[in-house]
Structure 1
C-alpha cells in the first residue's frame, strides 16, 4: 500500500498522488519559486560577550496569527526556550481554531537560547533575555 513501509526504521510520509512540495527543502529551491518562497526573511544582530538573547525560527503558520511584537513579548516572558516555543505554538493553534474552527496551516516553532554569559552568571541569574531575533 502507498504510504506504508515494511522497514521499521523508515520514516513514513503521507503524500498526495503526484508531485508535491517539500516545505523543509524549499529554502534555496529557486525552481519552485512560483509556489514557495525560496529565500527566508533573515535578521542579523550582534550579541556582545556576556549577552543573552533568544532566536525564534518559525513557519508562516505562526506568523499568520501573531505579530513579531507579540511573539517577542511571549519569548521574553518565558522561563526557557522550550516554554517559549510551546506557548507560541499553542497560541497560534488557539487563534487558528477560533478563526477557522481548525488548524489552518502547520505551525513549526523553534526558540534557541544564545547565551554568552559565563557558567557562573547563568547559574546565578537566569533572567529572560532582553534581545530577540526572529527568522521566518
Structure 2
C-alpha cells in the first residue's frame, strides 16, 4: 500500500506502483483472466502542476481559451508493435477490423486480461503539464466509448458553454449514446474554477 510520503518523494513512481497494485488486485480475481479495463487519472498539485496517467485508450484532454490539448497516449497495437513482438506476442489485423495483440485485444496496455499479460502491460504513461491560471477551463477524462464517436474538438464544443462539470459530463455521455456508441462510456469533467 502506498503512503502519502511515497507520493511526495516520487510522484511518478508512486502512480506507476498504484497502477501495478490495481492490476495485481484485478488479476487475483477470476474475472481478471477473462477481461480487462483501461484507465485515466489526473492529480492537480498546488493548482499548477497536473499529473495525468493512462493505460489503454481512456483519454484526458485539457480545454480552454487556446483550444484542446490531448495529454494522454492511446496505447494502440500499431504504435507499440515492436514492444509486443519483443515480448513474444504479435499484432494482427483482419479486414474491416482494428489491429489486435495476439489477434484479441485492441490495446497494448490494460488492467487484467491475464491471458495476454506476457505481451501487454499495465504500466501507465505519466505526463506532467504545467497549468497557468485562467488558460485551462477544464479537463475531460473519458473512456473510449466517448472517443470512438467524438473527436477531442467535438467534445470541447459540446460542453464549452457549461459551467456545471457534472452537467457537462452528462451532456457528453448523452451525445455519445446519440451518436451510436456501443462501447462503455465513462466520463468525468473537472472544472478548474480559477476565479
Q: TM-score, normalised by structure 1?
A: 0.53
Q: What is the aligned counterpart of 2:37 among 23, 37, 41?
A: 23
**RMSD, aligned α-carbons:** 3.7
CA drift at 1:95? 1.0
Change (3 A) 1:56 1:21: same
Q: TM-score, normalised by structure 2?
A: 0.39
Equivalent residue number for residue 113 of structure 1: 191
Bigger Cα Rg: 1
Q: Which has the higher strand share?
A: 2
Deviation per CA, 1:26-67: give whole Å up to 9, x if none.
928x98993224277877654324555110001110011111
Cα distance in 1 between the residues matched to 2:126 and 2:177: 24
Q: Which stretch has the larger CA shift, 45-54 or 60-69?
A: 45-54
Which portions of structure 1, spanning 4 or more consecutive aligned residues, are displaced by more than 6 angstroms?
30-33, 39-43
Contact 2:55 2:125 in 1 (8 A): no
Aligned length: 95
SS at match of 2:175: helix
Q: What is the aligned counterpart of 2:174 among 75, 81, 90?
A: 90
SS at match of 2:33: coil
